Each structure stands twice: as structure tokens, then as C-alpha cells.
Chain A
Amino acid sequence: MIDVDWNEAEEIVLFSLIFLLAGVAFVYSRNYPQNDALMPMLASGAIILSILLLLIRGIVMGFLGDVGEGAFSLGNVRGEGFNLGDSEEDRITELSRDAMVPRVLMIASYPVLGFLFGLLWATPVFVFAYTVWTKQSKLYIASFTAIAYGIIYIFDYLLNLPIRTGILFGGG
């Protein structure tokens, strides 16, 4: 049986997609007037060049990245999160894929539900489902669902946002 390194495979897919998008953006930019084409072409060109250099490093040289890492790395930059040493890497491997998938699906389905039925109703449903799934106490489930509904209701009340009905009921 072939042993697949999913992390590496995922990285290849990610960089291929970025490369493809940058390539499309580069070609597309050529249709714009010179002034408008300059920045997108520079940005997409930089992406294409960087990915090609990463590829060359990976296949042939193997040392360009090591030098970059040794010379500059002070830690990881994530948002403002700048963790020490390899803690980021450790954290990635600690992630529980089984635990993550249903939670991520719930997060992803929240805007979809909001768009279809209205954020005002999707919000308590999402928070309720999330807290039930993560086995919180009944008190926490009830109070956090109420807090979330309260937050969304205040926004609705103060800003009169069109969030009471979703696209299915003529809103959105």
C-alpha cells in the first residue's frame, strides 16, 4: 500500500492553485491599460516567480530555503501570533482532524443558513448546535445561545439590518 503524506499533498495542491490563480491574473492583467496592469502584474509575477523558486529549491537545490530560515526566522507569524520555535508546527500536528471536521462544517454552514433563512434565526441555531456538539453544560448552552441571539438582535435593532429573513423568504 502506498504511504501518502497528506500534508505534503495538501501543500502541492495549495501551491498549484495559487500558481494557477496568479497565472490567470497575470494573463488577465495584460488586457488592462498600462497603469492599471502594473500592480496586478507585479504581484502575480512575484507569486509565480516565488513558487517556481520554491519548486527549484525543492527539486534541485534544497538549500535556498534553509538559508532563508536560518538567516531570518525568529518564529512564526500568524496574525499577530508569533510563536516560539517550532510550537506552531507542533500545534498543527496536535490538531484532531476528527474533532475538527464537524466543527468546521458547522462554522461553514452558518453563513449559508444565514443567507437562506436570515442571520437572526441562523445565529441561535448555530451557537446551540455548536455548544451541544461540544458537550457543554445545559446552563452554558442556554446562556451562550441567548447571548449570541442578544448580540444579533441588538445589531438588528440598532442598525435595522436586513437579517430577519433570508433569500428563501424574500430577504437577503
Chain B
Amino acid sequence: MSFAQFIDAIAVILTPTALFYIFLGLVIGIFVGGLPGIGPSIAMVLTLPLTLFVDDIHGIIFLIGIYNGGLYGSSIAAILLNTPGAAGSAATTFDGYALSRQGKSLSALSASAVGSAVGGIIASVLIILAVPFLVPIILAFASVEYFLIAFLGLLMIALISKGNLLKGVIGGAAGLLVASVGVSAYGTSRFTLGYVELYDGFSFIAVLIGLFAITEMVYLSGEQGAISKERIKIEGERWAGVRAVLANPMLTFKSSVIGMFVGSVPGAGASVANFVAYGEAMRSSRSDVEFGKGALEGVIAPESSNNASCSGSIVPTIAFGIPGSGGTAVLLGGLLMHGIRPGPDLFGEQLFMTYSFFISFFVGSIFILIIGLTLITRLNFITKIDTDLIIPNIVVLGTIGAYSLRTNWIDIATIFILGFIGYFFVKHRISIIAFVLGAVLGPIAELNLLRALQLGEGSPLVFVSSIPSIILTTSIVVILVYPIAKLLLTIRMGEDQPAT
């Protein structure tokens, strides 16, 4: 059955229409991903309403194309400007920008293109091979595990937020509170203040547009003019990057596997994967490779891992409806908007759809290789685009996109109010991504928490009633206890130090 569905998926993807949507998504993703501060999430959320005009699978593979292309595109700005277009390419700046300063930007860009493509291909192949083994695990998950995995995702996001854990918790909890507005699953009207328009709660898409697109535009409005103040020359040897990837097959494979696994952890995603892969590349490198000073290995490792993490991060999104990052949160919105319900069905009757998502990743990665190697000498125009021209158009697209879904002015009010709140959250280091995931995971977490408590007749022991739930509960406890243990250890070590 699984193989037949795989063949069906190939037949779906290898059509001119599907290939066109993958290609279009990639081009948009590469372009927008290359604009520092914009990133793939914004491109995905702005084009989300447009996918209503196409059928389900084409709409989703178009969004996946943007996600995949955006993560590759973000390396362009990381290499040329020392400013990553998205979180997933942050570690690429260490060596990518150093190479640019040495007049080897072309080598860095080609290493990034090949690394990204190979990372995407490896991860998609591994996941396609793993799908038959994932099915029983996913089917074994019930309400208790769904709640725990949603909670773990929120906790992970709070954990990696800069500033501190407490501000991350505030962001996530604020999102949960926003998600509780409207009529509940049990029919109670919560926080609607008597407005009928709020009975359906805040539109998930409007929340995403507000917190991603409008927040960023308010931010960018404080930065005048073009992104790059000086003319950037693309120079160096195009094939040096290709040779470097071919000369380091283990590094590329290992980074891709790291990216795939870290990406599949809810709350982690490309932003963590690229640092982990870079760290591992440093640890296991030959002694003559000087990381941070322009090593091509320092570009290959984060770039293979971030594109591989794309595939990985889609697994919890489609299996449990738990997105691990901004991009997958938008993807989840796309799935729900098209009536595709994440969960066991996507690994049962609709398995061909799951396969088609990963095959589109595979095909997209080949497109990245072609686009990256042929057009990289012309990609520096992205760094010259004036933000003042981007802002009004993104505001317009976001507004009409939000309004077109329900023709409800509440949605327009939502995007602007949350957009401005998001600006202040960012400014004061309250994690926006925790806020978004709180809003996304709120209904899932609430429903499954109540079901789990009913199943366990109110007993908290229900959270340690199966092997997956024990593993998840233990992970949550470790995450919560770790900062306290570390604090106590620090105090103890401070006491043990002799006074000088």
C-alpha cells in the first residue's frame, strides 16, 4: 500500500503544473529569503491566501517551495552582507562573510547552493525511506502524547529565546491566551466582549500575518533606504564550492542528518540546526581547517543542515499538527486552509500526499542546485533593494490577504494590532515565535489536555501512562529543572571559589 501511494505521489509531482508551482515557490523563496529581515515565513504568509486559487497539493507544494528556497536564499545575504535573511543561515555568516571579504564570495555562494541542495536531497530521501517505520509510532500517539508534544514544543521555543526563559514563557502564554478567545469546544463564549465577530476567535492566518509581516514592516520602517549601502562585487571561483562539497561527503551527510533530526524536534528547526551542525563540523574537522576565517566547510555544514531541517520540521507538523518554526506554522495554516487535517490520516489513507510533499522537497533541491549554480553571479541585486519600496507593498498584500479569507474587518484590525504589539515584543525581547506557536498550539493543547484528563479521570498519572508519554514528560521535567539545577550549581561553585 505504501509503495503504491509512493508511485501515486511521483505521478502527482512529475507533472508540468506541479513542477511549475515548485519552481515558482523556490524563485519567490530565494528572492524573499535573500532580503535580510524578510525571510521565508513572511513570503509564505503573504502568499498563503493566494493558494486558495489552486488545488490542495499544488498550494502546499508551492508553500514548501518558498520555505525550501527561502532557507537557501537567506544564505545570500548571510554571505554577502553578514546579515542572514532568516534564522537558519545565522551560522553561515561566520565563514561565508569572511570568504566574501577575501574576494571569494562566488565560492561561498556555490558551496551554499550545492550544500543546500545536497542537504535537502539527503533529508527528503531519508524521510521517504523512514515513512513506513514512522507510521506505527505516529498511530501510537493519543491525546496525552499530543498534549505533551505541544507543551514540549512551546517549552523548547521559550528555552531558545534570547533574553531569558521567563520572557519566552510570557510570549508563549500570551499566544495561548489569544487562542482562547472565541467560542470554546464546549460552547462557552470566552473573552468575546459580546462581539459576534469574535465568536470564531482570531483568524489563525491574520495572527500569522500580523506577527510576521506587519511586525517586521514596522521594524523595517525605522531603517532608511537600501539594505546594502555599498556595491557588492561577486568574485572568486564558481566551482571551488562544488569541489569543496564533493571533497567533504561525510561533513555534508552528517550535517544533513543533524539538520533533519534537529528540525524534527518541535520548537527547534533550522535556527538551532545550523548552529549544531556548525559546532559539530568544528569539533570533527581536520586541524588545518580554520573555522571563522573563511573555511568553505563552515558554509557547507550550516547550509546542508538548514535545508535538511526543512524536511525534518515538516514531520511533526503533518503528523501531529505541531509546527516547530515560523515557516511550518504557516504551512500548518495552509494545510488547515485547504482542509488537509494533520494527523494519522496523512500517514494512512492520504499517505500519497505526505510522500508528494517530500518528493517536492527532493525536486526543489535539484532546482536549487540549478538556480544556485547558474544565477549566483546575478543574485547580488537582492542586496540593493530599497526597503522603503518593499514596506507599503507587503502591508497592502498582508491586509488584502487577511481580509479576503473571511471578509471580516476584525481580521484587518487583528493584523495591525498584533503587528504593533509584536513590534514591542521584539523590541523588549519577548519571543514572537513563542507567541505565534502559543496561538497555533493553544487549541490543540487545550483539547488534548482536557481529553487526557478525562481519560485519566483527573489523575496526573495519565501523563506517564505509556512509553512515549514517559519520554515526553521526562524531557519536559528536565527542561524545567535544568535552569534551576544550573543556578544552584553556579551558586555552589561560587561559594567553593577561594576569595582572592
Contact = CB atoms under 8 A, between A and B. Distances in A.
Interface of A: 7, 10-11, 14-15, 18, 22, 25, 28-29, 32-33, 35-36, 38-40, 42-44, 46-47, 50-51, 53-54, 57, 63-65, 67-69, 71-84, 87-88, 91-92, 94-97, 99-100, 103-104, 107-108, 110-111, 114-115, 119, 123, 126-127, 130-131, 134, 136, 140, 144, 147-148, 151-152, 155, 158-159, 161-163, 172
B9 interface: no
A161 B407 contact: yes
A141 B136 CA distance: 57
Interface stretch (B180-188, B195-203, B461-469): B180-188
B416 to A, nearest CB: 5
A32 B177 contact: no
Contacts of A172: 409
Contacts of A144: 389, 392-393
B399 A111 contact: yes
Contacts of B219: 95
Given A111-B413, A148-B393, A74 B272 contact: yes
A79 B409 contact: no
Contact of A79 (B386, B420, B432): B432
B388 interface: yes
B224 interface: yes
Contact of A77 (B416, B432, B450): B432
A53 B214 CA distance: 30
B396 A148 contact: yes
Contacts of A35: 184, 186, 450
Given A11-B428, A35-B450, A97 B222 contact: yes
Interface of B: 37, 39-42, 53, 83-84, 86-88, 90, 93, 157, 159-167, 169-170, 172-174, 176-177, 180, 184, 186, 188, 190-191, 211-212, 214-219, 221-224, 269-272, 275, 325-327, 386, 388-389, 391-393, 395-397, 399-400, 403-404, 407, 409, 412-413, 416, 420, 424, 426-429, 431-434, 436, 438, 442, 445-446, 449-450, 482-483, 486-487, 490
Contacts of A108: 416, 420
Nearest to A107: B395
A72 B267 CA distance: 14
A130 B272 contact: no
Mostly, the A contact residues are: helix
A18 B190 contact: no
Contacts of A80: 39-41, 86-88, 269-271, 325-327, 433
7 contacts: A10-B424, A36-B190, A74-B271, A80-B327, A87-B83, A134-B224, A136-B386
A82 B273 CA distance: 12
A68 to B, nearest CB: 4
Given A18-B170, A71-B486, A72-B160, A104 B218 contact: yes
B177 A50 contact: no
Contacts of B216: 78-79, 81
Contact of B426 (A15, A25, A78): A78
A69 B407 contact: no
A33 B218 contact: no
Contacts of B392: 126-127, 130-131, 144, 148
A79 B275 contact: no
Contacts of B275: 74-75
Contacts of B191: 25, 28, 40
B170 A33 contact: no
Nearest to B169: A50
Closest 10 CB pairs of A and B: A82-B87, A95-B222, A68-B164, A82-B271, A134-B388, A43-B176, A103-B221, A100-B222, A80-B326, A46-B173
Given A18-B174, A131-B388, A88 B162 contact: yes
A13 B134 CA distance: 48
B114 to A, nearest CB: 23
